[in-house]
Amino acid sequence: MMEKEIHTIISKVFSIPESEINDESGPENIESWDSFNGLVLVDELENHFKIKFTISEITDVKTVSDIKRHLKNHNIS
Amino acid sequence: MEKSLSEYITEAKKIDDLKFNKKLKVAILSSFTVNGLDESLHVKCSELGIGYRSHIAGYNQYNQELIDPESDLYSFSPDVTFLILDIRKFFGEYFYKLHTISDSEKKSFVKEKVDEIKNLIMNFEKNLNSKLVITNFNIPYYSPNGIIETKMEFGLHEIIEKINEAIRKISKTHSSVYVYDFNLFVSKFGEKNIFDYRQFHMGDIQIALNFIPYFANDLMGFIKPISGKNRKCIVLDLDNTLWGGIVGEEGFDGIELGHTPNGKAFVEFQKELLSLWNQGIILAINSKNNVDDAMKVIEEHPNMILQKKHFANIQINWNDKAVNLKQIAEEINIGVDSMIFFDDDKVNCERIKFEFPEVLTIELTDEPSEFASILKDLNDFNVLQRTNEDRKRGEMYSEQRERKKFERTISNLDDFLKGLEINVKIKKSNEFLIPRISQLTMKTNQFNLTTRRYQEEDIENFTNNPNIAIGCAEVSDKFGDNGITGVYIIKKDERFWMIDTFLLSCRIMGRGVENAILSQILLDAKENGIEEIRAEFIPTQKNKPAENFLLEFGFKKQDNVWIYKLNNEIKLPNHLKVEIE
């Protein structure tokens, strides 16, 4: 359930098909995932799940699986 | 509610700007990160049919861009430039330690900062003949002085207020400079929402990302009038729009207007509408109703704020609302694209959206307390300057109704025109007339030979150019004063004069005023030993009313130019009086 929602948001922010997104996706392999779009993604996730990440959480994100791990800390799973 | 920033960023990639006739060049200079603003403005412009091109200055590069005459900004030559500054960078370290320096040091600090802004503006004006919009500064809720902030000379808040005041003064004396009140933007949404310390530390983002679309929306308040996309007329439904309930069912005493909480909300909405009417916005009614029931409320209900005289046109019947709306546009003689339609009924709104997508259709909620703020959130009524003609517009439209009545009592058009006792005063352009002349070139669509749009700065240049004749016509008749309603701009050559612009406000079309103005231009040219007058007609979607004017006046077409040989006799209309000032 949550995975689907996260993938939908990532696909929207980086303009890529959901099918191309997996746990290993990140700035390394998604071209449009630059530092600004990374912040846009954080903003979208925060607004969607009504949470606030810490700066450490945000700067720590290297892949989609990192996002899922941090969302778990905010009781989103 | 705005869409999210990522939606704007995605949508902006899909826009084909080439399909739009109207073009706009926008420059954004900012001292902090405003990524996403460009995309948001781009999408919002495309929604209005404006082809958008932008120049985004590098991060915090505004000084270089404004000071260097060879900068990318100046070679881009934007129609409008937004200069977006933040207080932290503008004040530097002083932002945190103003309270540690002496009063006289604070005074000279303020002066230095104001001079810095003045210098930037001076450079802009030297290099560009277009609009500059500068933001003022947010007054932060926090002050290190705490509760004694107001007791001391030059507290942090007072210093920022002083600088904001200086910026306001500059905009009063420089016609091309406008202020975007960023402080009010922050107070509208709250500093704790707009300023997110995390985004600030991670990327010097000082307007939180989810508020960038709202910020862009506010800046559209400048872009709309610059592109001639502002609205002039509000068309209103009655039941559940101007009052609560359905008068045909609940009766005169059953509707909600005043007294009850919902009734007060409708009164508040009407007061805001009246306030717009006082600024020159035209009001009209489009309602499915029994005309007697509805008019009784308008004319007799003690809590009605809007009176019959405030409506330039009233359509109360059982016809299709789209037909009524078209009727209103024709009778008032304005384009449907300058209209806003308010209705509480979804079906009516869909009907208008389908038939007239260029109308801004607002579907009201079932919560009347929201109506006033829905109206106030529209930034479609902005004008770049407010002229006397704007303030008097409401009266002028009631006079127009009287003229129509007079027209119906007289069957012969010549008799009608003679009976109007029209007086045309032709005036050469001067500093007092420049705003109105510019305004007419910006918004006149129908009787306009060339539809060239000129900003105030352009009109000022023409006025000072000895090779250009520029003037306007003030028209009055026995029913009242129509104000300045005609403009001509002529480029003079030794042997011929070329009509660059010739336009007439739709309010006075069809009364021979155009012939009176043109024949005066011809007489003037003849006296100056000119052989011929040249003119062109550039067709647009809207200027059909001017299509045959040159031909009917006696111009002959050669290739793409219309020519009038001045050895021909010049016919003067005899039903009106012409004065030259």
Contacts of A36 in chain B (CB under 8 A): 33, 35-36, 203
Q: What is the pLDDT of residue A11?
A: 93
Residue A50 has pLDDT above 90, yes or no: yes
The pTM assigned to this predicted structure is: 0.78
Contacts of A35 in chain B (CB under 8 A): 203
Q: Positive or negative CA dihedral for B323, B325, B329, B335?
A: negative
Same fold, B5-226 and B233-377: yes
Q: What is the pLDDT of residue B421?
A: 85
Shortest distance between the Cα of B14 and any Cα of chain A, in A, equals 11
What CATH number should be reported for the domain holding residue A69? 1.10.1200.10
How far CA A13 is from CA of A17, A29, B6, B15, B488, in Å, comes to: 11, 15, 5, 17, 51
**Between A and B, how many residue pairs show a Cβ–Cβ distance under 8 A?**
43
Do the chains contact at A44 and B4, CB–CB below 8 Å? yes
Residue B10 sits at the chain A interface (C-beta within 8 Å):
yes
Parallel, antiparallel or unpaired: strands B131-135 and B80-84: parallel
| Domain map (residue ranges) of chain B | 5-226, 233-377, 408-580
Contacts of A8 in chain B (CB under 8 A): none
**Whole-angstrom distance, CA of residue A30 vs CA of residue B34:** 23
Residue B184 sits at the chain A interface (C-beta within 8 Å):
no
Q: What is the pLDDT of residue B186?
A: 97
Binding-site residues on chain A for chain B (CB distance < 8 A)? 12-13, 15, 35-37, 39-41, 43-44, 47, 52-55, 58-59
Write the ipTM.
Answer: 0.93
CATH class belonging to B408-580? alpha beta
The residues with which B17 forms a beta bridge, in sequence order, are: none
Q: What is the pLDDT of residue B184?
A: 97
Partner residue facing B199 (CB), from A39, A41, A47: A39
**Whole-angstrom distance, CA of residue B474 vs CA of residue B135:** 37
Residues of chain B with pLDDT under 70: 408, 410-413
Partner residue facing A15 (CB), from B5, B10, B208: B10
Parallel, antiparallel or unpaired: strands B22-30 and B50-56: parallel
Q: What is the pLDDT of residue B411?
A: 64
Q: How would you class B1 by CB atoms within 10 Å of its CB: exposed for 0-12, middle for 13-18, buried for 19 or more?
A: exposed
Contacts of A54 in chain B (CB under 8 A): 198
Quote the percentage of chain A above a pLDDT of 90.
Answer: 66
Pick the CATH number of B5-226 from 3.50.50.60, 1.10.3370.10, 3.20.20.70, 3.40.50.1110: 3.40.50.1110
Q: What is the pLDDT of residue B542?
A: 84
Q: Which fold has domain B233-377?
A: Rossmann fold (3.40.50)
Q: What is the pLDDT of residue B224?
A: 95
Mutation target among A39, A51, A58 for the B interface, most CBs of B within 10 A: A39
Structural domain containing residue A43: 2-73
Do the chains contact at A35 and B203, CB–CB below 8 Å? yes
Do the chains contact at B203 and A12, CB–CB below 8 Å? no
Q: What is the pLDDT of residue B432?
A: 87
Q: What is the pLDDT of residue A1?
A: 62
Contacts of B202 in chain A (CB under 8 A): 39, 55, 58-59
How far CA B417 is from CA of B404, B411, B473, in Å, comes to: 12, 11, 18
Q: What is the pLDDT of residue B405?
A: 72
How many structural domains compose chain A? Answer: 1
Do the chains contact at A58 and B209, CB–CB below 8 Å? no
For A54-70, write each residue's pLDDT tens digit. 999 999 899 999 999 99
Q: What is the pLDDT of residue B512?
A: 85
Q: What is the pLDDT of residue B153?
A: 84
